[in-house]
Amino acid sequence: MKAELLAPSGDLEAVRTALKYGADAVYCGGPFMQLRAESAGFSEEKLAEAVSLVHGSNKKIYVTVNSFAYNDDIPRMGAYAKMLKSLGVDAVIVSDPGAICEIHEKCPDLEIHLSTQANCMNYRAARMYYDLGVKRIVLARELTIPQIAEMRGKLPDDLELEAFVHGAMCMSYSGRCLMSAFMTGRSGNRGDCAQSCRWNYYLVEEKRPGEYFKVEQDERGSAILSSKELCCIDILQQLEDAGVVSFKIEGRMKTPYYVGTVVNAYRLVMDGKASPQEARRELDTTSHRPFCTGFYTGDPSESAPDPSGYVRDWMFIATADEASAGGELKITTRNPFAVGDEVEVLTPGHVGRAFKIEKIITDEGISIDRSPTPMRTMIINAPEGIEPGDIIRKKN
């Protein structure tokens, strides 16, 4: 497949991981208007480092400027856009029409991509944004594949289409939700969503205050508004045939383990090195809600709320610090593991390879039976072919 594989990055470790496992481009937030928690936004200095890492790999980096803007945000747009351009950012992802106009006017040589937050669903809207200076449309998630193909056929050739293919979905229309703002005073449209839709809810009858009835339940409670997660590993070719040139993975708040595993799985399928079934097994090693294909296949019930909660069958236990040699490997620990555990190593371009932990040696040279502490240097036995930065995981 020729489409771009676009990965999320919430910190520099995620940037490195995305590049290592095969992303063609990464997207991240900067210090302004980035529509995620402040911890997921890069400072100007960190952003400069990220640009250097990405361009050093001959890949691209896009910065989200996709919060909805108030009056006092607009005057800052021009200087911010010029700063991003000076750092070498390849494009900005913007949702607010006023922000688009201001950025294009003050920094016309900075490429603009329309955020999915703008919920662009038809060719006339896409053409309007194109006339405002937008070079790529990140499609609304409510579109079907035939609708995307129809849109593609009615647009200028140089207006690109991007689509989300994996990750969490918001129950609100293209993520434009007021629920968090009403319930907590934290606006999802300004990057401060409390994820109220993921909370557990009860039913209360008007004349029986204090009597709570679960709407649906399991051992985790009743998450009646929590949608399934998007997984398009089986329909990538259909999306590309419809005119999508960039496959986008959601998850700027996700761990490097999640980013590396998901990017690797999609890269394997896109390069013809694994079947969708093999890749789905890889995707199941991440923490996720039940998967669906969203609206793309024309069945909205696919993404209906699912009360069963997260699937958490696997654990990230370590990263490789060096290449394996002589049957040993130096690692940095992340979660507990022990001698006798069956584990897997994830190397770019491969599905997970299994091996058994037979020894654990501390950096002081002491043999131990269990590694209980994160971020410690250890030596373990390992097969040949493991590379620095490879991920080691085990089933819970």
Average pLDDT value for the chain? 90
Residue 308 within any structural domain of the chain: no
Q: Phi, psi at residue 160, to the nearest 5°? A: -85, 155
**Could you tell me if 194 and 284 lie in one domain?**
no
**Could you tell me if 352 and 319 lie in one domain?**
yes
Task: Say if residues 69 and 100 touch (Cβ distance below 8 Å).
Answer: no
**Could you tell me if 288 and 251 lie in one domain?**
yes
Residue 86 within any structural domain of the chain: yes
Beta strands in 134-254 (DSSP E): 134-138, 160-168, 202-204, 212-214, 229-231, 246-249
Residue 309 within any structural domain of the chain: no
Q: Which residue has the higher pLDDT, 39 or 137?
A: 137
pLDDT at residue 72 tops 60? yes
- State whether residue 54 is helix, strand or coil: helix
Residue 319: give its domain's CATH number: 2.40.30.10
Pairwise CA distance, residues 122 & 126, whole Å: 6
Residue 237 within any structural domain of the chain: yes
**Could you tell me if 137 and 34 lie in one domain?**
yes
**Could you tell me if 165 and 182 lie in one domain?**
no
**Could you tell me if 322 and 296 lie in one domain?**
no
**Could you tell me if 152 and 281 lie in one domain?**
yes
**Could you tell me if 163 and 66 lie in one domain?**
yes
Q: What is the tens place of the pLDDT at every residue in 178-204?
A: 666 667 777 666 566 777 776 776 677
Residue 165 within any structural domain of the chain: yes
How high is the pLDDT of residue 194? 74
Instruction: Count CA atoms within 13 Å of residue 50 on its CB side.
Output: 30
Helix, strand, coil percent values for the chain (each to nearest 5): 30, 25, 45
Q: What is the tens place of the pLDDT at every residue in 238-278?
A: 999 999 999 999 999 899 999 999 999 999 999 999 999 99
Q: What is the tens place of the pLDDT at every residue in 121-136?
A: 999 999 999 999 999 9
User: What sign results for the dihedral spanned by CA atoms 248, 249, 252, 255?
Assistant: negative
**Could you tell me if 248 and 389 lie in one domain?**
no
How high is the pLDDT of residue 225? 60
Residue 219 within any structural domain of the chain: no
pLDDT band at 222; cut points 50, 70, 90: very low
CA-nearest of 49, 57, 47, 52 to 18 is 57
Angle at 174 between CA 171 and CA 178, to 5 degrees: 65
Residue 144: give its domain's CATH number: 3.20.20.70
**Could you tell me if 152 and 181 lie in one domain?**
no
Task: Say if residues 353 and 383 touch (Cβ distance below 8 Å).
Answer: yes
Residue 220 within any structural domain of the chain: no
* Number of domains the chain is built from: 3
Instruction: For residue 330, give its domain range.
Output: 314-395
Looking at 303, 332, 349, the residue that finishes a domain is 303
Cα distances (Å, whole numbers) of residue 123 to 119, 129, 240: 12, 10, 18
**Could you tell me if 185 and 75 lie in one domain?**
no
Looking at 303, 334, 350, the residue that finishes a domain is 303
Looking at 259, 275, 303, the residue that finishes a domain is 303
How high is the pLDDT of residue 205? 74
**Could you tell me if 254 and 139 lie in one domain?**
yes
Residue 36 within any structural domain of the chain: yes
Q: What is the tens place of the pLDDT at every residue in 350-372?
A: 999 999 999 999 999 999 999 99
